[in-house]
Amino acid sequence: MPVASPAQYAAMLDAAQKGGYAYPAVNITSLITINGALKGFADRKSDGIIQVSMGGGKFASGIGGADEVLGSIILAEATHKLAEKYDILIGLHTDHCQPGKVDSYLRPLIAETARRRAAGLPNLFQSHMLDASELPLKENMVLSKELLEICAENEIILEVEAGVVGGEEDGVDHSDAPAEKLYTTPEDMLYVYETLNGIGRYMFAATFGNVHGSYKPGAVKLRPDILKQGQQAVMDKYGAAAEFDLVFHGGSGTPEHQLRETLAYGVVKMNIDTDTQYAFTRPIVDHMFKNYDGVLKLDGEVGIKKLYDPRSYLKAAETAVGERMSQACDDLLSTGKTIFGTV
């Protein structure tokens, strides 16, 4: 089954950490974006991560439903089915969930996986993200520890965050975050390790100046050395086995040399949303501009059905998403490294 089991997902992260590569993690909102992502991973023979945000789940449930949990379940179940035709492994993940949404979003999704497990079915999601970075670190870790315990009972990996990812994504706006919050300190990373070690497996989104969105060169002051310093502090005190599985948020638009540098410091997952949104929209715009007289009924004309048929331009959008994900596999060095069939 190409959607990874808990053991396979753990093996994926282990392989990336050992091999010095990372998995692209793409936010999806529809069957079209799921299919595009799967094709992109498969074309590069790369395992990958497909993730759902609260906003994505709400969108998928329809304007008459607006149900974040229902939409997320629908997208996850669709991914389970669609991934079966590919010889790669896919991890399913949920993106940023703030403390105020834990009870209405994360807990119901964890409960759904628990229900499935009790019925002999596979986990719905392999990992979830708690973004409690708005809280003081101590309060953040209290909540992180509580949720990690529940996740561990269900063989779910929890992603936590300390420090703030700047910019705005999916309704979460940290554009005005103070500069010091954009860089996680070695002391913070030690505190995270000492609080969560031994409870269950987790990933850690430490921040190093990264922001959501796309910016002109030079506008974002990334400092990947922050990750190196934090990892070193933890491993110096607790040994090589204490190395974090790190997550890079806000990876869209990052120069290749900085992407590659983060891999050396333990990044095993990089989120890609802005770039895939643009990849999706660009061919649709191109189609509309080139076929303006055909997609609209102008001056009493009837238009051209095959041009305003949504499939005519959504196929191009799906293809473009797949191509962007294939590029991400190349950038993050996961191309050709699927562990499908080996674990």
In this structure, are strands 172-174 and 167-169 parallel, antiparallel, or unpaired? antiparallel
Q: Residue 25 in contact with residue 51, Cβ under 8 Å?
A: yes
Q: How far apart are CA 309 and CA 276, in angstroms?
A: 23
Token couple for 187: 């002391």
Q: Residue 44 in contact with residue 335, Cβ under 8 Å?
A: yes
Q: How far apart are CA 240 and CA 255, in angstroms?
A: 29
Q: Which residues contact 226 (CB under 8 A, 6 or more apart)?
A: 183, 184, 206, 207, 208, 209
Angle between helix axes 310-331 and 274-290 (nearest 10 degrees) is 140
- Within 96-191, strands assigned E span 127-130, 157-162, 167-169, 172-174
Q: Residue 212 in contact with residue 251, Cβ under 8 Å?
A: no
| Burial class (CB within 10 angstroms; exposed 0-12, middle 13-18, buried 19+) of 47 | buried
Beta carbons within 10 angstroms of residue 291's beta carbon = 17
* Residue whose C-alpha is closest to residue 165's, from 205, 217, 202: 205
For residue 334, which phi and psi values (nearest 5 degrees)?
A: -90, -5
Active-site residues: which are they? 95
209: left (phi > 0), else alpha (psi -120 to 50), else beta? left
